[in-house]
């Protein structure tokens, strides 16, 4: 039996709340305590008799997926006014990248490198969803994702721990506001704790094997950043982590989360992941799965019902002490008190019901604009000048589909709010320019080419061709993984045929992941990568195409040349045989009779080399920036001292544009091997033509800290390289030393 003394010490909490929690616990029956630990699905247009009974009897503490404010308020009324103790409900809903107004998918939001924008977007989502009685959302998803085959990379902030943490913290602040009890605030949830992004082969729910040092240095840092931002809840991952499913993993849920990090909020399982502990094969049945989950410290079970079925009898059998349950129920009640639910459980019907306001749509457009990444712009074909145009062709299956542009995880997204590229471009060009539109394909999945003729005729009769391709929203998100990450359907063939018309070809790609683009890049003069940009995809894309703004997005994830390179990411280790251009051979260059060791003995692929097609941090714009005058305030710093790193960035082009200045370091020698680069800071600067700015960064030993060989956390003395640059492969390089004075 796990007794209370073995559980992590409760850190200090809000003084005013604790007595109230204790008072409630003293009055609660064991069944009511177990009830608080159960969340049930409230999907449906009415409150069923069964659900009504569960609430009134105190058998549940939370619902998920209610559909409107009336149901939300009715469920709260039953809990507050008809149950014995009147404990209000947590009402959860996946509000992942917007509610009615849909923002870019989180991978796109990450490409904005704009935490203030992400925070504003989450605040908008909280304002909209709380109007419908949502008081808890299951975001930010901060699983470091290095595998584009994995459908949930769409929901992540990409491959970098630092950027994921910055964006996750911003989203948390947006959802929770300065006051979690404010009507416009909702509780955020750090998910999926932990290591979900390492699912083998990019298949969802698959095994994850992550050495502790990798877990601590790559997958955990974003969760710590979000915890430091005050996130109210955590969610366990579905994954089997090194043989112990996260939902049963005491190392994660107690050692890391409670003992090392001092988290005093609540932990929820993922959907039915308690019973899945048996499916994984860790236990024989749901009862033992319940023992594992409670022992690990999963305060609340999402769906499933194992806690309801088994927990009270397990306590009566002596498998758990009541104190153990009290500690877990306290975490739940604390969250409800912090949300202010005991004082104000209802969603005021008098609240102005505002969804998709002009301000909301403006923010959605700004978010989309800043998330789109210009990957190619041969001969500066973009921007197009409407004043010089008489006709353009707009073709492709993603040009006019309100539901597809908003992407995955949009249960409440309002397609009526969507403005598509076709609508926006026609509106922008008006009657002065003829827009020849042809979808060419019924969807991104369509393999039939009978629509090509119309598209090719449209192209032939136009000066420029804009082709909107990509992935339908269903091709990414949970359980939606792909082993081939080329454009699906007959889209590649469409691009090839369009290029044969001899027209300038501009591709706009909407997708939920990095795609392998080799088979269209050579045919396209320009490529705008738009992710799934949300409600205002059209106006954002149109403004960038016609030069109303310069693209400023930067990649939060590496783009492989081919799927066989995966996993490929910038912050990799050096290996003992690092590849260099002169130590690799291409398969097409191998001569007959080549000797075993003649082709380079370093870490590369014959058919892909060792670099991605586009690196982390990459993105073009309509101007050029020059970096110069790298400055370090010292050649060495001691622990506790600050190194100032600066560089001058100049807009050397002829349009105003925004540059994301990136700061990277490399710890050359460590007690464990260290990445060849690590992002440690970034700044966005908007510069007019000819304008310069000095970007100034500060580094201290805490920025250089990592989980060391002895599992302690901190920096180590030694030499460091530092870069200030435009992406993870370029930049001005310097060196400094961290010394033990
Ligand atoms: C899903 C997801 C999780 C989501 C939850 C509720 O299976 O894994 O991210 O928040 O269930 O929908």
3-state secondary structure 579-632: CCHHHCCCHHHCCCCCCCCCCCCCCCECCCECCCCECCCCCECCCCEEEEEEEE
Residue nearest to atom 10 of ligand 1 (CA): 138
- Grade residue 5 by pLDDT with cuts at 50, 70 and 90: very low
Ligand 1 pocket mutation, candidates 63, 90, 194, 271, criterion most atoms within 8 A of CB: 271
- Grade residue 15 by pLDDT with cuts at 50, 70 and 90: confident
- Whether 6 shows a pLDDT value over 70: the answer reads no
- Grade residue 505 by pLDDT with cuts at 50, 70 and 90: very high
- Whether 4 shows a pLDDT value over 50: the answer reads no
CB 217 within 8 A of CB 133: no
User: Per-residue pLDDT tens for 356-410?
Assistant: 999 999 999 999 999 999 999 999 999 999 999 999 999 999 999 999 999 999 9
The burial class, CB within 10 Å (0-12 / 13-18 / 19+), for 203 is: middle
Report the separation in Å between the CA atom of 16 and the middle of ligand 1, taken as the mean of its atom positions.
33
Phi and psi torsions of 425, nearest 5°: -70, -40
Cα angle value 459/461/464 (rounded, 5°) = 55
Q: Give the position of tokens 């597809």.
A: 404
Q: What per-residue confidence (pLDDT) applies to 471?
A: 98
User: Per-residue pLDDT tens for 267-276?
Assistant: 999 999 999 9
Q: What per-residue confidence (pLDDT) applies to 12?
A: 32
Phi and psi torsions of 377, nearest 5°: -155, 70
Please give the positions annotated as active site.
270
Ligand 1 pocket mutation, candidates 192, 195, 478, criterion most atoms within 8 A of CB: 478
HSE value, Cβ hemisphere, 13 Å, CA-based, for 526: 26
% of the chain at pLDDT higher than 70: 98
CB 149 within 8 A of CB 201: yes
- Whether 454 shows a pLDDT value over 60: the answer reads yes
Residue nearest to atom 11 of ligand 1 (CA): 271
Ligand 1 pocket mutation, candidates 141, 270, 272, 410, criterion most atoms within 8 A of CB: 270
Closest CA to 535 of 395, 414, 359: 414
Closest CA to 105 of 615, 570, 466, 470: 470
Q: What per-residue confidence (pLDDT) applies to 444?
A: 98
Residue nearest to atom 8 of ligand 1 (CA): 270
Residue 192 CA: which ligand 1 atom is closest? 9
CA gap 511, 375 in Å, rounded: 14
Containing 50, the helix (H) or strand (E) segment is helix 49-56
User: Per-residue pLDDT tens for 276-312?
Assistant: 999 999 999 999 999 999 999 999 999 999 999 999 9
Q: Give the pLDDT mean for 317-321.
A: 98
CA gap 117, 409 in Å, rounded: 20
Closest CA to 55 of 46, 67, 47: 47
Residue nearest to atom 12 of ligand 1 (CA): 94
437 C-beta neighbours (distance < 10 Å), count = 20
Containing 682, the helix (H) or strand (E) segment is strand 678-687
What would the two tokens of residue 156 be?
A: 């992540």
What would the two tokens of residue 724 be?
A: 């200030």
- Whether 3 shows a pLDDT value over 90: the answer reads no
- Whether 669 shows a pLDDT value over 90: the answer reads yes
Distances (CA, A) of 119 to 112, 145, 213, 338: 12, 21, 31, 20
CA gap 157, 262 in Å, rounded: 25
Residue 189 CA: which ligand 1 atom is closest? 10
Name, in order, each residue with C-beta under 8 angstroms of 589's C-beta and a sequence gap of 6 or more: none
Residue nearest to atom 3 of ligand 1 (CA): 270
594 C-beta neighbours (distance < 10 Å), count = 11
Ligand 1 pocket mutation, candidates 65, 94, 479, criterion most atoms within 8 A of CB: 94
What is the distance of C-alpha 328 from the center of its chain? 28
Closest CA to 218 of 151, 154, 165: 165
Outline where DSSP puts E strands in 495-558: 504-510, 526-529
Mapped onto helix, strand or coil, the DSSP state of residue 330 is helix
Report the separation in Å between the CA atom of 270 and the middle of ligand 1, taken as the mean of its atom positions.
6
Residue 191 CA: which ligand 1 atom is closest? 9
CA gap 429, 423 in Å, rounded: 10
Q: What per-residue confidence (pLDDT) applies to 340?
A: 96
pTM over cut 0.75: yes
Strand 718-725 and strand 732-739: the pairing is antiparallel
User: Per-residue pLDDT tens for 533-578?
Assistant: 999 999 999 999 999 999 999 999 999 999 999 999 999 999 999 9
Report the separation in Å between the CA atom of 141 and the middle of ligand 1, taken as the mean of its atom positions.
10
Report the separation in Å between the CA atom of 271 and the middle of ligand 1, taken as the mean of its atom positions.
6
CA gap 626, 636 in Å, rounded: 27
Pocket of ligand 1 (CB under 6 A): 94, 138, 191, 270-271, 478
Residue nearest to atom 7 of ligand 1 (CA): 271
What would the two tokens of residue 120 be?
A: 């504003």
CB 370 within 8 A of CB 539: no
Closest CA to 619 of 544, 519, 723: 544
Report the separation in Å between the CA atom of 262 and the middle of ligand 1, taken as the mean of its atom positions.
25
Report the separation in Å between the CA atom of 605 and the middle of ligand 1, taken as the mean of its atom positions.
37
Containing 526, the helix (H) or strand (E) segment is strand 526-529
Report the separation in Å between the CA atom of 247 and the middle of ligand 1, taken as the mean of its atom positions.
14
User: Per-residue pLDDT tens for 161-183?
Assistant: 999 999 999 999 999 999 999 99
Q: What per-residue confidence (pLDDT) applies to 210?
A: 98
Residue 138 CA: which ligand 1 atom is closest? 10
Q: Give the position of tokens 């110069």.
A: 628
């Amino acid at each position: 039996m796990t007794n209370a003394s073995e559980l992590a010490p409760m850190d200090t909490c809000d003084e005013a709340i604790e007595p109230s929690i204790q008072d409630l616990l003293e009055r609660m029956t064991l069944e009511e305590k177990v009830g608080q630990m159960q969340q049930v699905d409230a999907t449906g247009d009415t409150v069923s008799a069964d659900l009504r009974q569960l609430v009134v009897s105190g058998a549940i503490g939370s619902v998920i997926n209610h559909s409107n404010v009336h149901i939300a308020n009715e469920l709260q009324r039953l809990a507050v006014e008809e149950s014995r103790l009147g404990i209000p409900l947590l009402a959860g809903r996946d509000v992942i990248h917007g509610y009615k107004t849909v923002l870019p998918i989180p991978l796109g939001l990450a490409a904005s490198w704009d935490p203030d924008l992400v925070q504003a977007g989450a605040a908008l989502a909280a304002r909209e969803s709380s109007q419908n009685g949502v008081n808890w959302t299951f975001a930010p998803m901060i699983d470091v994702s290095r595998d584009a085959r994995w459908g949930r990379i769409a929901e992540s902030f990409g491959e970098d721990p630092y950027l994921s943490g910055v964006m996750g913290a911003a989203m948390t602040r947006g959802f929770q506001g300065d006051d979690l009890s404010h009507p416009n605030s909702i509780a955020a949830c750090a998910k999926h704790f932990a290591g979900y992004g390492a699912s083998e082969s990019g298949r969802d729910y698959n095994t994850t094997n992550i050495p502790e040092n990798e877990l601590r240095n790559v997958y955990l840092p974003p969760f710590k950043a979000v915890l430091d931002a005050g996130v109210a809840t955590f969610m366990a991952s579905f994954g089997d982590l090194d043989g112990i499913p996260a939902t049963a993993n005491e190392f994660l849920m107690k050692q890391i989360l409670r003992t090392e990090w001092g988290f005093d909020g609540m932990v929820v399982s993922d959907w039915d992941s308690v019973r899945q502990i048996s499916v994984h094969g860790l236990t024989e049945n749901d009862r033992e799965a319940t023992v594992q989950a409670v022992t690990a410290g999963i305060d609340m079970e999402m769906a499933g019902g194992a806690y309801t079925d088994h927990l009270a009898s397990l306590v009566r059998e002596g498998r758990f002490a009541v104190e153990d349950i009290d500690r877990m129920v306290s975490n739940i009640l604390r969250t409800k008190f912090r949300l202010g639910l005991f004082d104000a459980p209802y969603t005021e019907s008098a609240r102005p019901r505002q969804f998709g306001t002009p301000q909301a749509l403006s923010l959605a457009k700004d978010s989309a604009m800043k998330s789109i990444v210009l990957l190619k712009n041969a001969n500066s074909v973009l921007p197009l000048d409407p004043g010089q145009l008489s006709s353009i062709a707009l073709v492709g299956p993603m040009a006019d589909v309100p539901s597809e542009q908003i992407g995955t995880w949009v249960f409440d997204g309002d397609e009526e709010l969507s403005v598509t590229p076709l609508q926006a471009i026609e509106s922008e060009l008006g009657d002065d320019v003829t827009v020849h539109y042809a979808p060419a394909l019924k969807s991104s999945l369509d393999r039939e080419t009978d629509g090509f003729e119309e598209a090719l005729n449209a192209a032939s009769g136009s000066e420029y061709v804009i082709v909107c391709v990509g992935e339908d929203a269903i091709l990414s998100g949970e359980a939606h993984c792909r082993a081939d990450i080329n454009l699906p359907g007959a889209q590649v063939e469409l691009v090839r045929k369009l290029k044969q018309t001899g027209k300038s070809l501009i591709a706009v790609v909407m997708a939920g992941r990095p795609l392998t683009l080799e088979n269209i890049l050579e045919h396209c003069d320009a490529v705008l990568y738009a992710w799934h940009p949300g409600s205002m995809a059209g106006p954002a894309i149109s403004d960038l195409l016609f030069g109303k703004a310069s693209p400023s997005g930067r990649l939060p994830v590496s783009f492989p040349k081919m799927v066989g390179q995966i996993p490929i990411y910038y912050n990799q280790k050096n290996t003992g045989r690092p590849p260099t251009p002169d130590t690799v051979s291409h398969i097409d260059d191998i001569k007959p009779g080549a000797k075993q060791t003649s082709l380079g003995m370093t870490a590369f692929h014959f058919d892909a080399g060792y670099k991605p097609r586009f690196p982390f941090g990459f993105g073009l714009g309509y101007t050029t920036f020059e970096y110069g005058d790298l400055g370090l305030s010292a050649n060495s710093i001691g622990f506790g001292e600050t190194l100032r790193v600066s560089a001058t960035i100049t807009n050397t082009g002829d349009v105003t544009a925004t540059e994301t200045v990136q700061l990277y370091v490399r710890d050359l020698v460590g007690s464990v091997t260290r990445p060849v680069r690590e992002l440690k800071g970034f700044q966005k600067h908007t510069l007019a033509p000819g304008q310069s700015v000095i970007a100034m960064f500060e580094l201290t030993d805490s920025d250089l800290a990592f989980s060391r060989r002895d599992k302690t956390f901190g920096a180590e003395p030694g030499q460091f390289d530092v870069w200030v640059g435009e992406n993870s492969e370029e930049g001005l390089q310097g060196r400094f030393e961290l010394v033990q004075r």
